[in-house]
Structure 1
Amino acid sequence: MKFASYKNGQRDGQLMLVSRDLTTAINVSDIAPTLQYALDHWYQLADKLEARYQQLNEGRLHGVTFQASRCESPLPRAYQWADASAYVNHVELVRRARGAEMPATFWTDPLMYQGGSDDFIGPRDDIILPSDEWGIDFEAEVAVVTDDVPMACSETMAAERIRLIMLVNDVSLRNLIPGELAKGFGFFQSKPASSFSPVAVTPDELGDAWQSCKVHHRLRSTYNGVLFGQPHAGKDMTFNFAQLIAHAAKSRNLRAGSIIGSGTVSNRQDLSEGACIGEGGVGYSCIAERRMVETLLHRHPSTPFMQFGDKIRIEMLTDACQSIFGAIEQRVKPLD
């Protein structure tokens, strides 16, 4: 199934079922008014929603044209948003660029931080910030939404509790990060509101591309109209989503609607001549990683962070070039 939340003046939006080809949507508030409600009552409502979804795809229901511009993030707010660094290549590049060794434990114990989940940005809404001198960066990621997950669960159980998959733009303020990390308490001001794809999908919608709790498609980032990165989300993912969920639940329960992010999607590349799209590489899912590679090759970065007016588009396509989740499309604008 594919779900979206339309803006309706309420905090949690109006739940919509979206056709597989993302052309048609139908209001299913008679079954579940919001996506969080559907997740809270999944075992009672999933079959009803699935039946309605099949009717929509078969053309037996009269829907409306799906409009991504009307969407909130699928969960406009969530009980939990925890983001990991599952692509350890990204972390390794960060540390190499500043001449620091990476602890061996980073390959066996996931990094994860707890983000703000009370105010997500819609997938077509502007990224509004007080200053563009804070090192504004996009981060293209994949995330899953869980059912209830018990404390100390196994990876097998964690895999069974994955209900939905979606894309993320985890906005980062790179120039604020060093000062915050130096305090020893982690991110806060440097991680403003994130945004998620217009549509969240059940794992079965991915078919064979959902294997070993990883999404096996390329994640495309188009920055100011130019393809910036298309790494493969199923490659070089050191920790899969089952492992990330089990890590998050080591000492706490996770409740239905918890979101677990992959961190910046990053592939290992030959850096001898650079790894940009135009240089034969797969590019990058954030500006910071490109700057790291520039530092390693030329001793200093040359790509600036985002400025007011810059635009980012994040999308994942099937092998037949059909959009799976719809696109995150955003422009950076100043706070009035």
Structure 2
Amino acid sequence: MEERREAVRLNEARLRAPITRPPAVFCLGFNFRSHAPELKRPVPEVPVVFMKPSRSVVGPGDEIVLPKASARVDYEVELCVVIGKGGRYIPRSEAYSRIFGYTVLNDITARDIQQRDFSLARPWLRSKGFDTFAPIGPFIVTGDEIGDPMSLSLSLSVNGEVRQSSRTSEMIFDVPSVVEYISSFTTLEPGALIAMGTPEKIGQLHDGDVVEATVERIGTLRNRAVLER
């Protein structure tokens, strides 16, 4: 007997984060040539890697909470790699075979806190790591369906106005080189996320703003910003 399963229309479903508690969330700083000068930072010679807590991950439709501790919280659209088969010392020639797929990540940042930390040579954990500061989704698209991740368009809009627009071909370090670099100092586990950096024209979010981050062939991640209560 044919098994029947109840179906739900996508436009009637509430999507959750495709990975709710990843083993690690790695992020790249200044990986677009247009972005480093925007923050008055030099173009890096090696990947600039930082991390976000897994608790910062939320999904499509979830609120981005603007914390009381910050006067300026920014958006950053990013292509996000999802590791499938982990390992250590992964050569770039094997990197794509270790990737399960790709999603969209909005690297929310408390910019005023980050700028203070820059001046004091402090790590970025606080400015990048507040709860809700890593929205991901709406889907994970497998690598075979993406094709070349270095030829995708990405954009971000706030309340329907386009604020960021670029292509992954503008990245300084490509996906295989980043997988190779991170796995040279730590084991990449299945489900780990690697956000590949944002292009220029980052900007501030305000209470009530609806932010939409889009990566070609993946989809649009939509969230609303709200003040911390």
Name 1:200's counterpart in structure 2: 140
Q: Which amino acid aligns with 2:25?
A: W
Which of 201, 215, 225 aligns to 2:160? It is 225
Q: Which amino acid aligns with 1:78?
A: P
Q: Is the 8 A contact 2:70 2:113 kept in 1?
A: no
What are the superposed Cα offsets for residues 266-317 of structure 1, whole Å, 9 maximum, x if unpaired? 5xxxxxxxxxxxxxxxxx4x22xxxxxxxxxxxxxxxxx2221122111234
Matched, 1:87 2:22: no
Q: Is the 8 A contact 1:132 1:308 kept in 2?
A: no
Q: Is the 8 A contact 1:142 1:263 kept in 2?
A: yes
Residues 119 and 173 (structure 1 numbering): CA distance in 2 closer, same or farther, change over 3 Å?
closer
User: Normalising by structure 1, what TM-score?
Assistant: 0.61
CA distance in 2 between partners of 1:172 and 1:148 (Å): 29
Q: CA RMSD in A?
A: 2.3
Name 2:174's counterpart in structure 1: 240
Residues 201 and 247 (structure 1 numbering): CA distance in 2 closer, same or farther, change over 3 Å?
same
Q: Which amino acid aligns with 1:189?
A: R
Larger radius of gyration: 1
Question: Superposition pairs for residues 94-243 of structure 1, below 5 Å?
Answer: 94-95=39-40, 102=42, 106-107=44-45, 109-131=46-68, 133-191=70-128, 192=130, 193-206=133-146, 210-211=147-148, 214-233=149-168, 235-243=169-177
SS at match of 2:126: coil
Query: How many percent of aligned residue pairs carry the same amino acid?
Result: 21
CA distance in 2 between partners of 1:79 and 1:166 (Å): 16
Please report how far the alpha carbon of residue 184 of structure 1 lies from its aligned counterpart in structure 2 after TM superposition: 2.9
Q: Is the 8 A contact 1:158 1:245 kept in 2?
A: yes
Question: Superposition pairs for residues 31-110 of structure 1, below 5 Å?
Answer: 63-67=7-11, 70-85=14-29, 86-95=31-40, 102=42, 106-107=44-45, 109-110=46-47
Residues 205 and 148 (structure 1 numbering): CA distance in 2 closer, same or farther, change over 3 Å?
closer
Q: Is the 8 A contact 1:314 1:328 kept in 2?
A: yes
Please report how far the alpha carbon of residue 125 of structure 1 lies from its aligned counterpart in structure 2 after TM superposition: 0.9
CA distance in 1 between partners of 2:119 and 2:54 (Å): 24
CA distance in 2 between partners of 1:222 and 1:167 (Å): 14
Gapped regions of structure 1 (runs ≥ 5): 1-59, 267-283, 288-304, 318-323
Matched, 1:260 2:153: no
Residues 257 and 172 (structure 1 numbering): CA distance in 2 closer, same or farther, change over 3 Å?
same
Which of 196, 215, 229 aligns to 1:316? It is 215
Q: Is the 8 A contact 1:125 1:330 kept in 2?
A: yes
Please report how far the alpha carbon of residue 159 of structure 1 lies from its aligned counterpart in structure 2 after TM superposition: 2.2
Q: Which amino acid aligns with 1:167?
A: V
Which structure carries more relative contact order (alpha carbon 8 Å, separation 6+)?
A: 2
Gapped regions of structure 2 (runs ≥ 5): none
Q: Which amino acid aligns with 1:312?
A: V
Please report how far the alpha carbon of residue 92 of structure 1 lies from its aligned counterpart in structure 2 after TM superposition: 3.0
Which of 199, 205, 214 aligns to 1:306? It is 205
CA distance in 2 between partners of 1:76 and 1:312 (Å): 20
Q: Which amino acid aligns with 2:49?
A: M
SS at match of 1:196: strand
SS at match of 1:190: helix
Q: Is the 8 A contact 1:79 1:255 kept in 2?
A: yes
How many residue pairs get aligned? The number is: 222
Residues 184 and 229 (structure 1 numbering): CA distance in 2 closer, same or farther, change over 3 Å?
closer
Please report how far the alpha carbon of residue 67 of structure 1 lies from its aligned counterpart in structure 2 after TM superposition: 4.1
